[in-house]
Chains A and B, each alone.
Chain A
């Protein structure tokens, strides 16, 4: 893996990008070309080409089983961790193919963070150690204890959790509520300063208040990163995303600015889905 590309640089605590930066033209950070994903012989993602832009939230919607989660898991090479899973086509981050020969999937996942449907805090670690979990594996680039404390606080603040857990960083990560656990997982993913954050139905197991907090958080995160969120909740997609992609039976039906997709869908199937005629 070449070390001079932008996304292989080691994350360091830096000041959050200001609002003003968001005005710059969004460039494509993550892109797939003719991406297909298989479980055994079943093709669950069929030739999807889609681009995710910098400082934008892209929502992927579609009925259950349409392949949206699998598509997401191809973006950080998590799909291949399942036995019999296979991927075709290309995915590139900053114009670099992450499936190219010689690219280490571990390196890819450090730069493309992921948050799952259910909160997955490590039960044996404290709140602080959970957030720092991704930093502990950086080898010689591992930040010092003081730096780690700084990064942990920064990540927890960005995840809007700092005020709630500041006094009990050393306590168990499974002693906090489900909504807090999910924000903890987001903080954990943010701590390594990934270029892209993938969210796989992050509010599916949360109550409405926690859901709202996570949504506000997702909305804020676009300031300095690329966010892709899979959701089965169209209202959520409408609330948090800049662009929305609609998938059906493994295929990308259309992708458009969220506003226009929900008001003037370009495809009849999209219209049928968002008006509740199926799915």
Chain B
């Protein structure tokens, strides 16, 4: 870096091609500039190390909560997870043993109901936003969808109670599914829109030039190309609502027994965890921890499925 005569690379570059071979001694101004460049360089290097360190630390801290939660759940809950936990109904308070089989089934029923309601609407709305991005309606829908995304889930629960549970006269799995589905809609809408928008215009044009109609181009070419991303978005939305508790308190109520009927109250993992966690019995506390561990496990499986879905059917290089 430092050349004979104490000049830096900066001052050499000011020398024209003519003075090659007999380099002039650097002037005072040049020496001062070189000195300044050296100290600036030192400061920039230190700043670089500092910033890399800070972001590295932030990255570690960001993953710590999950590590702690998982570790704690395994310590508290793993011992309660046995075959009975997956196959039996919860035992009455005070009795040992029992499981959360009905709550797991109930959660799956709720996820299916929510997906059946939320996915078609979310994907359809996302397609509309992507295909008509400049229109007033699209801008309004996009804004409202962002607002809905930030809506506290308990508000969603109260609304579902007011407009679904009260008119029907009872708590039902259907009301819970719709409340959860409504929470999925904005997430699915926005990811669908984003995924469709990153499909190159050239692909759309190629389909149109082949004689594809507009709707067929959207469906067969654009949607198909964006599908892995949309599936990922849908699974992320599912894993987000899988653990929601507040909307369920007002809609599905919970159930001590087996039920898969959409028109009856149904058990759900988050509700069962809540019920057991606030009970005074240690055995139920342990089951609550185990339930939380299973819930996280379900979310983890869905996330892995999302990862898997983004892989192309042609394998590597086919995306």
Closest to A134 in B: B210
Contacts of B319 in A (CB 8 A): 123
B159 to chain A, nearest CB (A): 38
Chain B residues with Cβ under 8 A from A81's Cβ? Answer: 205, 208
Shortest Cβ distance from residue B204 to the other chain A in the assembled complex, whole angstroms: 8
B window 188-213: CB within 8 A of A: 200, 202-203, 205-213
Contact, CB under 8 Å: A116 / B202 = yes
Kindly state whether residue B317 has any CB partner on chain A within 8 Å. yes
**B 27-38 to A, binary, CB cutoff 8 A, 1 in contact else 0:** 000000000000
User: Is the beta-carbon distance between B209 and A76 smaller than 8 angstroms?
Assistant: yes
**Cα of A64 to Cα of B209 in the assembled complex, Å:** 23
Question: Which residues from B are CB-within-8-Å of A211?
Answer: none
Report the minimal beta-carbon distance from B162 to chain A, rounded to whole angstroms.
Answer: 43
Is there an interface contact between B211 and A114, defined as CB atoms closer than 8 Å? no
Asked whether A113 and B209 contact (CB < 8 A) given A118-B202, A120-B203, A175-B314, the answer is yes
Q: Is A78 an interface residue (CB 8 A)?
A: yes
Scan A130-145; emit 1 where CB is below 8 A from any B CB, else 0.
0001100100000000
The verdict on A106 contacting chain B, using a C-beta distance below 8 Å, is: yes
Which chain A positions have C-beta within 8 A of B203? 120, 122-123
CB contacts (< 8 Å) of A78 on chain B: these are 205, 208-209
Contact: B206 with A122, CB < 8 Å? Answer: yes
Bound together, the chains give a CA A137 to CA B200 distance in angstroms of 21
**Is there contact, CB below 8 Å, between A109 and B210?**
yes
B318 at the interface (CB under 8 A from A): yes
Residue of chain B at shortest CB distance from A138:
B211
Q: Please tell me if the beta carbons of B208 and A171 are within 8 angstroms of each other in the complex.
A: no
A241 shortest CB reach to chain B, Å: 21
- Chain B residues with Cβ below 8 Å from A134 are 210-211
A207, B89: Cα distance in complex, Å: 68
For A76, the chain B residues whose CB sits under 8 A away are 209
Q: A137–B227 contact, CB under 8 A?
A: no
- Residue in B closest to A133 when the chains form the complex, CB atoms: B210
Please report the number of residue pairs spanning A and B whose Cβ atoms sit closer than 8 angstroms.
Answer: 73
Q: Which residue of the partner chain A has the closest CB to B204?
A: A81
Contact yes or no, B213 A120, CB < 8 A: no
Residue among B202, B211, B314, B319 with most chain A CB within 10 A? B211
- Give bound CA distance, A212 to B212, whole Å: 30
In Å, the complex CA distance between A188 and B212 comes to: 13
Is B44's CB within 8 Å of the partner chain A?
A: no
Chain A residues with CB under 8 Å of B227's CB are 124
Given contact pairs A123-B318, A171-B314, A110 touches B207 in the complex (Cβ within 8 A): no
- The yes or no answer to B239 lying at the interface (CB within 8 A) is no
Q: Does A185 contact B (CB under 8 A)?
A: yes
Chain B's closest residue to A78 (CB) is B209
Query: In the assembled complex, which residues on chain A have CB atoms less than 8 Å from the CB atom of B208?
Result: 78, 81, 109
Closest A residue by C-beta to B210: A134
Tell which of A118, A172, A192 touches B211, judged by Cβ atoms closer than 8 Å. Answer: A192
For A21-63 the 0/1 string (1 means CB < 8 A from B) is: 0000000000000000000000000000000000000000000
A147 is an interface residue with CB less than 8 A from chain B: no
Chain B residues lying within 8 Å of A110, measured Cβ to Cβ, are: 210-211
**Chain A positions within 8 Å of B317 at CB level:** 172, 174-175
Contact across chains for B209 and A172 when beta carbons are under 8 A apart: no
Name 5 A/B residue pairs within 8 A (Cβ), A-sorted.
A109-B210, A120-B202, A120-B203, A123-B312, A137-B213
User: Which residues does A use to contact B, with CB under 8 Å?
Assistant: 76, 78, 81, 83, 106-107, 109-110, 113-114, 116, 118, 120, 122-124, 126, 133-134, 137, 171-172, 174-175, 185, 188-189, 192
Beyond the given A122-B225, A124-B224, A172-B312, please list 13 additional residue pairs across the A-B interface where CB-CB is below 8 A: A110-B210, A120-B206, A122-B224, A123-B318, A124-B221, A137-B211, A137-B212, A172-B318, A174-B314, A174-B317, A188-B210, A192-B210, A192-B211
